A and B are shown apart, each in its own frame.
Chain A
């Protein structure tokens, strides 16, 4: 065994984490508050839709995914006080009015024959934007000072990718006609335009380039 008293580098040769990051504490808290609000709206919608979809496999997946997003909301809720926000509700807000309108439009479909619209809203628009915002945040925040956020982002991203794959496969299995392709595309475009206006889950700059 090597001499335990011999000085070693504090960062091992394979540990290439960097100190600088794009976000300060305040900006991180703002983004995390937006994430929490959006994850809450998503899990609430998924829970509400369970009773409205006749397809048994979809019903069960929505119930499962509902919890994934509730857990993400809980992770962000717990992170906020660590970011000097002692009243998490204050920052649990939509990024802007357009994001609120996006969620209203997302949750509009209710009828039993609108499963395609429900799934497209979640799995072709909302979740891809979560993946984008979380990925940008993870790759741009300080790997040392903001390690707790990165850990939560990685957990959340793991779920988001799995859920996106589940959702996309359900959509593909439900779409059987060219008309249904058009329906899915039209709904996606409608929601994507609102998301464009919102600028992403955390508003403009969600994925940089502001």
Chain B
């Protein structure tokens, strides 16, 4: 088995269809553009009073499901891809870090199990929505510290936001399973973020340059995982920023604000990009994809 497994070869059964982030972003259609007509809601936040609430929740749940699969795969690869060592250089990781990654693999495997059950409960089929593979791409970095920054801090941070939104959705709708399950998964994600923060600090203790690079990488990933504004403080975003749980996970107020700023910027850029695409009518039909965030009532 090779070290560093390519994202293009992630193994799936025939029910799954995978797309890349680039393909996903190439879709010029957007719900936000039509706002000036006044026909669309002022808020996109995922709440039960949205007319498409059930479909949007199902779609997001499937996005969580495939995200958990990739998180499981990423944690597993970090156990295998690097030799055990001091962690001072990018080709080794400390033994205890590997143990934490193995623990995370178990947690993510449980999350996949939970997501399958919840998807079934919500009436979705496995593979019903396209799988965006951006998460595993982030988990493929050759430097384990970048994986910690990108996956444990940025991605698992996003998971905190998503699970909080879904937990609130379940609570408001009176869905006993959704609220219960999201609460449990949220507890695990807070642990994973703390794990990432702790290891990032420890491994780069004597290497400020490496730490700086990792934090820059995290910022880039935070922006990517804002999915063009899908997650931000703005009500235009379906998923809110879970400030309280992020603080529990060890993010400082400054860090949370930075993520908020990056997310809002991603939202604005997405709107500008979509407006330009629509005006140009310059669409490549070879590209596909709105990814896991299709808000269709179909």
Contacts and interface: CB of A to CB of B under 8 A. Distances in A.
Chain A bound to chain B: yes
A70 B102 contact: yes
Nearest to B82: A44
A63 B11 contact: no
* Interface hub of A48, A49, A53, A62 (most chain B Cβ within 10 A): A48
Interface stretch (A2-10, A93-101, A103-111, A163-171): A103-111
Interface in A25-54: 40, 43-54
B1 A70 contact: no
Interface string B1-12: 110010001111
A59 B80 CA distance: 15
B105 A47 contact: yes
Interface string B68-79: 010011011111
Given A55-B13, A107-B1, A50 B95 contact: no
* Interface hub of B101, B110, B126 (most chain A Cβ within 10 A): B101
State the main secondary structure of chain B at its contact with A. helix
State the main secondary structure of chain A at its contact with B. helix
B109 interface: yes
B106 interface: yes
A62 B73 CA distance: 10
A110 B69 contact: no
A52 B102 contact: no
B106 A67 contact: yes
Counting chain B residues whose Cβ lies within 8 A of the other chain, the interface size class is: 35 or more
Contacts of B109: 59-64
Given A55-B13, A56-B13, A112-B11, A48 B77 contact: yes
Given A56-B69, A63-B105, A68-B106, 20 more contacts: A40-B95, A48-B76, A48-B81, A50-B73, A50-B76, A51-B76, A51-B77, A52-B1, A52-B11, A54-B11, A56-B126, A59-B72, A60-B72, A63-B72, A64-B106, A67-B102, A67-B105, A70-B103, A73-B99, A74-B99
Interface of A: 40, 43-56, 59-64, 66-71, 73-74, 77, 107-110, 112
21 contacts: A47-B102, A49-B1, A50-B76, A50-B105, A51-B5, A51-B9, A51-B10, A51-B77, A51-B136, A62-B76, A63-B75, A66-B102, A67-B105, A70-B79, A70-B98, A70-B99, A70-B102, A70-B103, A71-B99, A109-B1, A112-B9
